[in-house]
């Protein structure tokens, strides 16, 4: 039961980071034009690794 809850929480975290990345896309494009980068990809990659590590193998 705890493991299932943990998997659901990690999935929700992953989906939230994807949504956050999409919402920040216009800001990231604007920052890129001035030579700066917004490191959302690191957050998304970390959440994806955590979710895939915990999700059951199919």
Residue-wise pLDDT tens digits, 21-42:
899 889 988 998 999 888 878 8
How does residue 57 score in pLDDT terms, banded at 50, 70 and 90? low
pLDDT at position 26: 92
Token pair 């299932």: residue: 4
Q: In the chain, where are the structural domains located? A: 2-54
Q: Which of 9, 16, 18 is nearest to 51 (CA)?
A: 9
């Amino acid at each position: 039961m705890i493991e299932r809850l943990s998997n659901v929480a990690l999935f929700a975290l992953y989906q939230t980071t994807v949504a956050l990345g999409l919402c920040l896309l216009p800001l990231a494009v604007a920052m890129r034009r001035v030579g700066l980068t917004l490191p959302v990809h690191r957050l998304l990659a970390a959440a994806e690794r955590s979710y895939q590590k915990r999700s059951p193998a199919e």
